[in-house]
Amino acid sequence: LLVQYRVWTCFPYEDSREVEVYRIDVEPGGVYTSGGHGEKTREYLTVTDGVLTVECHDHVQEIHKGQVYKFETDQPHLYRNDGDRVASCMCFFLDYTNIR
């Protein structure tokens, strides 16, 4: 079985906190697929190495090392690495259901 990605939960979601932080590494040619996180959820990410392509809401966005991107995560979405080396990002997941 070939590993396509690795995910580390740095700061898990808790009832007292609406933020989760994690790191994702996607191998060359790999894809990481995530389900929707519910209404009023958003991800902020920064690519720390390589190039990642994010697909969500019928939109495709290529994000290069040093760039940042945000998107609503109420639908399934994916991270794809079309490059020839590992691509990494840090993701900050926000549930803003209770934020005014």
Task: Examine residue 66 and state whether it is found in any structural domain, yes or no.
Answer: yes
Non-local CB neighbours of 4 within 8 Å, separated by 6+ positions: 26, 27, 29, 30, 31, 32
Task: Examine residue 83 and state whether it is found in any structural domain, yes or no.
Answer: yes
Count of structural domains within the chain? 1
Domain of 47?
5-95
Instruction: Provide the CATH number for the domain around residue 19.
Output: 2.60.120.10
pLDDT tens digits for range 7-43? 888 887 666 667 889 999 999 999 999 877 768 889 9
Task: Examine residue 75 and state whether it is found in any structural domain, yes or no.
Answer: yes
Task: Examine residue 100 and state whether it is found in any structural domain, yes or no.
Answer: no
pTM, two decimal places? 0.84
